[in-house]
Chains A and B, each alone.
Chain A
């Protein structure tokens, strides 16, 4: 029995000993590698009037300067043709206008500094507010609508309106973007890349080089974290390496420093939302009218599907009969924002949680009661028309958290603490998560796998998914071992390559195990089906190795290509309606915080989580995803603070927090003192591999509980405390100690 067994990561022994290889670790194992360094533009927006590579060649060790003139194919790093690999117009501070290849990274760096570039600076838009004021938008402007919002608001007992602004987030995968390209004797290009989407990396490299896809192979050994940041963003760097390799005939390495990565690569979208919401006398949501403006940055990248998912998650776990949500994407002179764990879902969900958190005191209803009262019930549908299957799991997880966290008892203890502690207040909150699983775009919901059984009975599997730490490969080994009835040690997994499994979707949308697991199982079942006659002939007790050997001698094909497509999905992007998700993943978290009234600093004292992963394929992996996602969400909501230079000074548009010393992600000190995670029992998901559910993204949003607990604690500093005080607490996102301090000051009056 392997599926369902708690196993360490399949590469854990390699990780802990430093033996696991990442893309850039290959460089010292390969002779004659050239190193690439970008030439960054020092303006947020400018026209490039001259680019002279000449002076760079005076630097010893500089081999080649890459410019737009070198591109044999399409000068574009993306799929939308709005993202030139070598730009003529600088669109953000740090935009690479050329790349220098050197014998050493030091030579390339000095060469890049020597490239002579003249710019004609242009006016720039840095913030979403700048873009709204300038009417600067890009891409589709979808509207998600159901019912009659105006009538719903008119009939509401209370109508409340507000603005919610939330910041983006830097992925800060520990491994920065890295690619290493080689060209063989036949001009075949081989790119090793830290990419979540090898197929798309292959396609972009091919179109930049003017090659067909079959002339480019992309391999991803593993990634040192991805989180969505390597879904679309690696392509340009891979293309630079590949272009350099084709022009020089030598291997070329692109590896960004942390500063370069933070300066150049896309991030989670920040969001600006205006909203009007109506409640009936009992606090039941009647209508929501909202406009979401995401900060897309300089090009579209994945901003459109990210926005779609934000719209499709603004309901979170709540039934809202009348909905009108308009979405639009601001075009600003910043990095092009991209996928990040949750893919817009967290932003949409945060809006409704902010609405409920702010409205609860105004309505005179405790926040937890207001939330519970609005939960979906069986038979209801989302604003885009999909039935909320297993809606009862929200109640079940909610009740389990209330019980195991002793919510009611602790509420009283906290109230007692707060009445006796003028300088420190505690807060407690519980929030739900409902998250749709599948790519919104139906076509992406397919996967392939290749399963080889060798004559000695050992098994090698390939699949289209990439490993970024999420444990996908571990789960795939378990699926294959279970299918064949073998110990996991008899199965090996080979690195993800586009020449093994073609036309893959990104490993994204939490879908890796669902899609690839089903494809692996399909391949295994094909092989097993062919083995069945042999097994019958040899008898039930025949050893696996004997069956395989006999099958080979019988000329039975011992390998198979597996395929899977998720059935039953539909999505109409024009009307923003359909049933785009295979199912919903649910979770509930309760958090307790303590806030210092002198500084706004706080501790997370305890967090209780119940999360729905179906029947877990691999519990150690799944709990790791839940905890890690939760803490990453906590970082986004409380700590991580992207600041661009919004002044009119010479550095306008520069990311001021472009290093680990200035952009702080959670460290050990942010781990809650008491963190309790449970998997929702009795949660088999029919129709998914082994009854399991996706787990990558949904747990991130469990961290809403911390933000709402902070709001609760801040409220306790007010003259009249308590959730029914009538005082609405506004909290910035991220709720840094400073932001909490200002919220406290406002409440104190």
Chain B
């Protein structure tokens, strides 16, 4: 096919500073499989779904606070083919037993390893934060995607907090100051990186073709459920999908921006999203997962859709026929289904401005870091500080129906009522009745209902403590 770039004989990956030919890298071979096949067995498979981080490695990606940043990713989810032309560093590349890297040294001497199986992954996640340009202290969330069953984490935290800044001559620190490796068109087995959005859309018209970005969802499907799409079309580096603009009346977010990129580049501008991101999966997942992918999978329990619903977001969809705009409320049509046509992509997410005055995100889950919501509630309310009443209300819900939904009945009942316990009571009762929650292993339907019922009183208690801003 004309739009498909030529297969890449000679395609290479820079692994720990040395060029390695990208052979044997056709899907479903993952980056983890491929690296281990080179004898670099430091990265391990612990879960094959991006939950445990034993497979974490560093890749050089376009940076936000520097031209390049060392980014921790789950190698178990990433197709090996996607590494073409990229630079990868594994635990073996950071240091050797005779010359430990500072991160490795702190982990070793403080008892940060016991069985050692999760350790190379922790070291890579920790090194990504160590090298993050402009960091102030150590962000614990950098380790939110790594599980350790032995240590209880205390010595690992101590190791992280003992880290200073990289030495002046540190080669990996130096690498962040120059441009990232380009992502060139490439074709490897059933995986293709097209040169342009137009090429991508043409390829996506082929039977069996699937768009792939961070592979945080497709990778799980492949590893755990044996999904083997006919053609994977990489859209994650397409410039057309990676814009971010803040205008007077709208914020437009390119669908192929990773959640980490959106989180950091929009930091402080959309407080509701600031509240969501730290609770959304883990750092390595957010480093791969894209905002478009989170909407494209159409999961009823994704954390972003409830927030975007509350923000009255619209989606710009693109296909060879052109663009169309769909309000998010009209996007989801059923369990993991949407209006997205075959061959159509989410191009941009539009969040209208001005934002509501009071926003909050309530995530109910068993674990605080890196868990899937049993219920997610996003609020965007305009509270009138003068009258103490609710002017406008938007409430997005996840985990309580086959799709993310707006709690429209409860929203309507909120408008005009005083922002106090008596005022919100009718709306709280209506919110408790929203959706059709189910019993499953995450939570009972009764608990989900109860949490919906508690959502407004909980928000009131928070705003009462903080005072109403207008």
Residues of A within 8 A of B (CB): 8-9, 11-22, 25, 28-29, 106, 109, 113, 171-176, 222-227, 257-259, 423, 468-471, 598-599, 601, 620-621, 623-624, 627-632, 639, 641, 643, 656-657, 659-662, 664-671, 675, 736-738, 741-742, 745
Pull 7 A–B residue pairs with CB atoms less than 8 Å apart, ordered by A. Answer: A13-B97, A22-B44, A113-B226, A257-B48, A257-B224, A258-B45, A738-B447
Whole-angstrom CA separation of A141 from B157 in the bound complex: 46
Given the interface pairs A224-B44, A225-B149, A667-B369, the reply to whether A17 lies near B118 with Cβ below 8 Å is no
Known: A16-B123, A106-B28. A628 touches B39 (CB 8 A): no
Q: Which residue of A lies closest to B124 (CB)?
A: A18
Name the distance in Å between A680's Cβ and chain B's nearest Cβ. Answer: 19
Are the CB atoms of A225 and B454 closer together than 8 Å? no
Which of A468, A665, A668, A669 sits near B115, CB closer than 8 Å? A468
CB pair A620–B111 under 8 Å, yes or no, is yes
Which listed residue, B41, B118, B151, B441, touches A641 by the CB 8 Å rule? B441
- Chain A to chain B: the 3 pairs with minimum beta-carbon distance, closest first: A18-B42, A469-B115, A224-B117
Distance from B66 Cβ to chain A, minimum over Cβ atoms (Å): 25
Inside 8 A of B364's CB, which chain A residues have their CB?
Answer: 599, 601, 737
Query: Do B100 and A16 touch (CB < 8 A)?
Result: yes
Q: Say whether B152 contacts A671, CB under 8 Å.
A: yes
Among A8, A17, A659, the most chain B Cβ lie within 10 Å of the Cβ of A17
Query: Knowing A174-B46, A598-B457, A657-B441 touch, does A28 contact B116 (C-beta < 8 A)?
Result: no
Contact indicator B371/A664 (Cβ below 8 Å):
yes
Residue of B151, B365, B444 touching A627 (CB-CB under 8 A): B151
**What's the nearest-Cβ distance from chain B to residue A613, in Å?**
15
Is B260 an interface residue when CB atoms closer than 8 A count as contact?
no
Q: Is the CB of B52 within 8 A of A660?
A: yes
Question: Is B442's CB under 8 angstroms from A16's CB?
Answer: no
CB distance from B89 to the nearest CB of A (A): 11
Are A667 and B116 in contact, CB atoms less than 8 angstroms apart? Answer: no
Q: Please, which residues of chain B bring their CB within 8 A of the CB of A660?
A: 46-47, 49, 51-52, 147
CB nearest neighbor in B for A619: B111
Q: Are B149 and A598 in contact (CB under 8 A)?
A: no
Residues of B contacting A661 with CB < 8 Å? 47, 49, 51, 220, 372
Q: How far is the CA of A656 from the CA of B157 in the complex (A)?
A: 32
Q: Find B149's partner among A21, A172, A630 (CB 8 Å cutoff).
A: A172
Q: Are A12 and B113 in contact (CB under 8 A)?
A: yes
B258 within 8 Å of A by Cβ?
no
Question: Given the known A-B contacts A8-B108, A423-B461, are A16 and B113 also in contact in the complex, defined by CB atoms under 8 Å?
Answer: yes
Chain A facing B: main interface SS: loop
Please tell me if B385 contacts chain A, counting CB pairs below 8 Å: no
Closest Cβ of chain B to A640, distance in Å, is: 9
Given the complex of chains A and B, what is the CA–CA distance between A601 and B457 in angstroms? 16
Q: Shortest distance in angstroms between B120's beta carbon and chain A's nearest beta carbon?
A: 4
List chain A residues, Cβ under 8 A from B156.
668
Instruction: State the Cβ distance, B43 to closest chain A Cβ, in Å.
Output: 7
Q: Are A669 and B368 in contact (CB under 8 A)?
A: yes
- Interface check B91, CB cutoff 8 A: yes
B366 within 8 A of partner (CB):
yes
Closest B residue to A638 by beta carbon equals: B366
B104 interface contact, C-beta 8 A: yes
User: Which of A258, A470, A630 neighbours the largest number of chain B CB atoms within 10 Å of its CB?
Assistant: A258
Q: Which listed residue (A22, A222, A627) contacts B152, Cβ 8 A?
A: A627
Asked if B140 and A222 sit within 8 Å, CB to CB, the answer is: no
* Chain B residue nearest in CB terms to A667: B369
B149 to chain A, nearest CB (A): 5
Is B37 a contact partner of A668 (Cβ separation < 8 A)? no
Shortest beta-carbon distance from B369 to chain A in Å: 4
- Determine whether the beta carbon of B115 is less than 8 Å from that of A173: yes
Q: Taking the complex as formed, is B69 at the interface, i.e. its CB lies under 8 A from any CB of chain A?
A: no
Contact A667 to B144, CB < 8 A, known contacts A18-B92, A174-B54, A225-B149: yes
- Asked whether A737 lies within 8 Å of B104 as measured between CB atoms, the reply is no
Docked-complex contact B441 and A223, CB < 8 angstroms: no
Residues of B within 8 A of A423 (CB): 458, 461
**What residues of chain B lie closer than 8 Å to A643, measured between beta carbons?**
441
B367 interface residue, CB < 8 Å from A? yes
Q: B104 near A665 (CB under 8 angstroms)?
A: no
Q: Do residues A659 and B111 form an inter-chain contact, with CB atoms below 8 A?
A: no
Known: A174-B149, A599-B364, A669-B369. A662 touches B441 (CB 8 A): yes
Q: Is B154 an interface residue when CB atoms closer than 8 A count as contact?
A: yes
Chain A residue nearest to B39 (CB atoms) is A28
Residues in B whose Cβ lies below 8 Å from that of A667 = 144, 146-147, 153, 367-370
Give bound CA distance, A468 to B43, whole Å: 18
Q: How far is the CA of A571 from the CA of B416 in the complex (A)?
A: 75
Select the residue from A109, A468, A667, A738 with max chain B CB neighbours within 10 A: A667
Instruction: Tell me whether B155 is interfacial, beta carbon within 8 Å.
Output: yes
Tell me the nearest residue of chain A to B143, going by C-beta.
A668
On chain A, the residues within 8 Å of B155 by CB distance are 624, 627
Query: Is the pair B458, A224 in contact by a Cβ cutoff of 8 Å?
Result: no
Task: Specify which of B108, B440, B458 is in contact with A599 (CB 8 Å cutoff).
Answer: B458
A174 to B47: give the CA distance in the assembly, Å. 8
| CB neighbours of A8 from chain B (8 A) | 108-111
Contacts beyond the supplied A8-B111, A469-B113: 8 A-B pairs with Cβ under 8 Å: A15-B119, A20-B116, A28-B39, A174-B52, A661-B220, A666-B152, A667-B144, A670-B367
Residues in A whose Cβ lies below 8 Å from that of B409 = none
Say whether B111 contacts A599, CB under 8 Å. Answer: no
* B46, A258: Cβ atoms closer than 8 Å: yes
B36 to chain A, nearest CB (A): 6
Q: Could you say which residues of chain B place their CB within 8 Å of the CB of A28? A: 36-37, 39, 41
Closest CB-CB distance, A422 to chain B, in whole Å? 8
Shortest Cβ gap from B462 to chain A (Å): 9
Given A9-B114, A628-B151, A598–B42 Cβ distance below 8 Å? Answer: no
State in angstroms the CA–CA spacing of A627 and B151 once bound together: 6
A665 cross-chain contacts in B, Cβ below 8 A: 147, 149
Alpha-carbon gap, A173 to B154, bound state (A) = 18
Q: Are B117 and A13 in contact (CB under 8 A)?
A: no
Closest to A647 in B: B439
B residues less than 8 Å from A470 (CB atoms): 114
The reply to whether A175 and B115 form a contact with Cβ atoms under 8 Å apart is yes
Complex alpha-carbon distance, A476 and B224, angstroms: 40
The residues of B that contact A258 with a CB separation of less than 8 Å are: 45-49
Q: How far is the CA of A13 from the CA of B43 in the complex (A)?
A: 15
Chain A residue numbers with a CB within 8 Å of B2 are none
A12-B113, A737-B364 as given contacts; A624 in contact with B42, CB under 8 Å: no
Separation of A469 and B116 alpha carbons in the complex (Å): 7
Chain A hits for B372, CB < 8 A:
661-662
A632 CA to B367 CA, complexed, in Å: 14
* Contact residues in A for B40 (Cβ distance below 8 Å): 18
List A contacts of B42 (CB < 8 A): 17-19
Q: How far is the CA of A671 from the CA of B157 in the complex (A)?
A: 9
Which of B103, B112, B149, B224 has the most chain A CB within a 10 Å cutoff?
B149
Interface residues of B in 144-167 (CB under 8 A from A): 144, 146-157
B115→A223 contact, CB < 8 A? yes
B185: CB under 8 A from chain A? no
- Contact in complex: B367, A174 (CB < 8 Å): no
Are the C-beta atoms of B367 and A639 separated by less than 8 Å?
yes
Which residue of chain B is the closest to A110 with respect to CB atoms? B226
Q: Which B residues are CB-close (under 8 A) to A14? A: 97, 116
Query: Taking the complex as formed, is B450 at the interface, i.e. its CB lies under 8 A from any CB of chain A?
Result: yes
A736 touches B149 (CB 8 A): no
Q: Mark B34-74, 1 if CB is under 8 A from A, else 0.
A: 00110111111111110110100000000000000000000
Closest to B141 in A: A668
Kindly list chain B residues whose C-beta atoms are within 8 Å of the C-beta of A620: 111
Query: Please, which residues of chain A bring their CB within 8 A of the CB of B151?
Result: 624, 627-628
Known A-B contacts A16-B104, A19-B97, A471-B114; A598 and B454 likewise in contact (beta carbons under 8 Å)? yes
A416 → B minimal CB distance (Å): 18
A599 to B451, CA, bound (A): 6
Does B425 sit at the interface, judged by CB under 8 A? no
* Closest residue on chain A to residue B372 by CB atoms: A661
Choose one: A176, A222, A659, A675; the contact of B116 (CB below 8 Å): A222
